[in-house]
Amino acid sequence: MADVAIGVDFGGTKVLACAVDVSTGKVLGEGKTTTSSADGPDELMKRIYKVCKAAGKDAGIAVGDTVGIGVGIAGQVDAKRGLLVGTANLSRAVVDLPMADLLTKEFGVPAAIRNDVQIAAIGEARFGAGRNVEQFVCIFVGTGIGGAIVHNGELIPGFSGNAGEIGHTMVQVGGRICGCGGRGHLEAYASRTAITAALMGEMRRGRKTILRELLPDVDPVHPAGSGAIRSGILKKAVASGDAVTIGVIEEAGHYLGCGLASIVNFVNPQRIILGGGVIESVDLLFDVAEKTTRLEALAHAGDAVEIVRAKLGDYSGAVGAAVIVAEQQGIAA
């Protein structure tokens, strides 16, 4: 029988677990649930146990018979000690949670935990758009913008393990305030959160847009509680020819391309892999970003770089998480 590991991708709105054949990257079974920002440590772990079991069941394998469980989560992670140090999306009660130890106690198999962007990059490196590419940069556009640098199949960790924060590179000195508190960061111009803020502004100042129909319950004056506009809605609005949404997406794509051009000039990567919900749903964002990157980068590096979409879609994180725990056990893809 093939080696199977469970990979868990713990996102801002949902948790996806997959039972993955780690020699091929094939997803054999999956389990899904929503997240709740009200979760304390116990509820959080129960949620993860549940999706792990569901993924195993779907694949016809008990979690205890797998190679192990890998978890990717948006937040600060201490990979060595298997700790979730903290995360902006969850209750403040979730601090220094020994997630790997708890999973091992529950299922009797090894466990590993990593940052969500890093596991997605590893997923793409082993089985996706980064396969056999010597050097690439992965960028995921979602609620925020995350990134990772991969060289010879391995993540470049940086000196203190924090490399890849392209969302917090500065594209506009003194510009928009970012979720992190800084100013002018790429994430404040090109993330789903930034796109939402711009669209709410357009609605407040009375511009005509189909979003009023697509989002009947959103109050643009007090949009905070509504969260970021879902990628599917953005896709619909663009497809309908909505000038307001198209303008905002083009602006975001332009900024994204300018940020990518800087990366091209500084790192000179062979390939840039763009992924995440907004990129997958809204072709216009990818297209404008690609065009701008080539236009704004220095000729030599800009001509050389390949700009492609992530291949594993929603599964890059879960597959990468499964790969990480398998490789930790000495099982190579």
Instruction: Answer yes or no: are the C-beta atoms of 223 and 269 closer than 8 Å.
Output: no
Binding to a second copy by residue 266, rule CB under 8 A?
yes
User: Interface with a second copy includes 95 (CB under 8 A)?
Assistant: no
Phi first, then psi: give them for residue 309, nearest 5 degrees: -85, 150
Q: Return the number of other C-beta atoms located less than 10 Å from residue 224's C-beta.
A: 8
What is the smallest separation between the CB atom of 318 and a second copy, expressed in angstroms? 26
The residues, any chain, with a CB within 8 Å of residue 255's CB and separated by 6 or more, are 171, 172, 186, 189, 190
- Options 47, 254, 281, 315; binder of a second copy; rule CB under 8 A: 254
The yes or no reply on residue 132 touching a second copy (CB under 8 A) is no
Minimum CB distance to a second copy, residue 37 (Å): 22
CA distance 324 to 253: 32
- Is 134 among the residues that bind a second copy (CB under 8 A)? yes
Indicate the SS3 state at residue 333.
Answer: coil
C-beta of residue 253 within 8 angstroms of C-beta of residue 190: yes
Residue with Cβ nearer a second copy (187 or 314): 187
d(CA 90, CA 187): 20
Q: Which of the ranges 31-39, 155-163, 220-228, 283-291 carries the binding residues for a second copy, by CB under 8 A?
A: 155-163
Mention every residue, 6+ apart, whose C-beta is less than 8 A from residue 230.
277
- Of residues 22 and 264, the one with the C-beta less far from a second copy: 264
CB of 115 to a second copy, least distance (A): 12
Cβ-count burial of 326 within 10 angstroms (0-12 exposed, 13-18 middle, 19+ buried)?
buried
80 vs 222, beta carbon nearer a second copy: 80
CB 77 within 8 A of CB 119: no
Q: Which is nearer to a second copy, 81 or 266 (CB)?
A: 266
Distance in Å, CB of 301 to a second copy, minimum: 5
Is 184 a binding residue for a second copy by CB under 8 A? The answer is: yes
For strands 145-151 and 306-309, give the pairing: unpaired
What is the 3-state secondary structure of 89-107? Answer: CCCCCCCCECHHHHHHHHH
Give the residue, chosen from 182, 240, 250, 287, that forms a contact with a second copy under the rule CB under 8 A: 182
Contact 54, 63 (CB under 8 A): no
If binding is defined by CB under 8 A, does position 166 make contact with a second copy? Answer: yes
Stretch that binds a second copy, among 10-18, 57-65, 263-271, 323-331 (CB under 8 A): 263-271
Span from 13-21, 39-47, 167-175, 308-316 in contact with a second copy (CB under 8 A): 167-175
Give the largest Cα separation in the chain, rounded: 61
Q: Which of 33, 35, 104, 135 lies at the binding interface for a second copy (CB under 8 A)?
A: 135
DSSP state of 226: G
The CB-of-75 to a second copy minimum distance in angstroms stands at 13
Residues of this chain, 294-323, that bind a second copy according to CB under 8 A = 296, 298, 300-301, 304-305
Residues that bind a second copy (CB under 8 A): 76, 134-135, 147, 149, 157-166, 168-173, 180, 182-184, 254-255, 258-259, 261-263, 265-270, 296, 298, 300-301, 304-305
